Amino acid sequence: MNTVIDAMLATPMGAAVAYFSVAVLELVVFLSIFEVVTRYKCWDEIRKGNVAVAMATGGKIFGICNILRFCIESGSSIYESMLWSLVGFVLLMVAYFLFEFITPFFKVDEEIGRDNRAVGLISMILSISLSYVIGVSVL
């Protein structure tokens, strides 16, 4: 099985399809995990027009994909990229919890759930910014 996959990954088209598939799979899994740990339901809030949730979720999507981009760009195998992007996701999750912890004057999740766009924007920028730091660190 690995030889078939490795042969497919040796072609540019096969590698593109494989990495795209991994990215979509990771987005589904990692966003599902974020959905469990937040106090609001991301997709329900986005459907209602909650811009703060959309910004925070968009930052998470960008962060997850950006970390995977660094893993792919490093020339790692697809298996190593998946492992390192998992490590990167865990670090992004830690950053999410630290953001909640370092803001003792309000609850980040509650503010985002109330469509506080300032908090949503900061959350988005933190996810994006830290994804660059995480991306270069996990390789």
Q: What number is the average pLDDT over the span 113-134? A: 96
Higher-pLDDT residue of 91, 78: 91
Q: What number is the average pLDDT over the span 82-103? A: 92
Question: What sign does the dihedral 44-48-52-58 (CA atoms) show?
Answer: positive
Cα–Cα distance, 130 to 4 (Å, whole number): 36
Question: What sign does the dihedral 108-111-115-116 (CA atoms) show?
Answer: negative
Give the pLDDT confidence of 110-122 residue by residue, as tens digits: 999 999 999 999 9
Q: In terms of residue numbers, what domain contains 49?
A: 2-137
Q: What percent of the chain has pLDDT over 90?
A: 68
Predicted confidence at residue 3, as pLDDT, reads: 77
Amino acid present at 128: I
Integer CA distances (angstroms), 26 to 37, 61, 68, 83, in order: 17, 10, 9, 11
Confidence of residue 51 (pLDDT cuts 50, 70, 90): very high
**How many domains in the chain?**
1
- Show Cβ contacts of residue 125 under 8 Å, excluding neighbours closer than 6 positions: 59
Cα–Cα distance, 89 to 135 (Å, whole number): 10
Confidence of residue 78 (pLDDT cuts 50, 70, 90): confident
Give the pLDDT confidence of 11-38 residue by residue, as tens digits: 889 889 989 999 999 999 999 999 999 8
Q: What number is the average pLDDT over the span 29-52? A: 94
Predicted confidence at residue 1, as pLDDT, reads: 58
Give which of 82, 64, 105 is closest to 9, Cα–Cα.
82
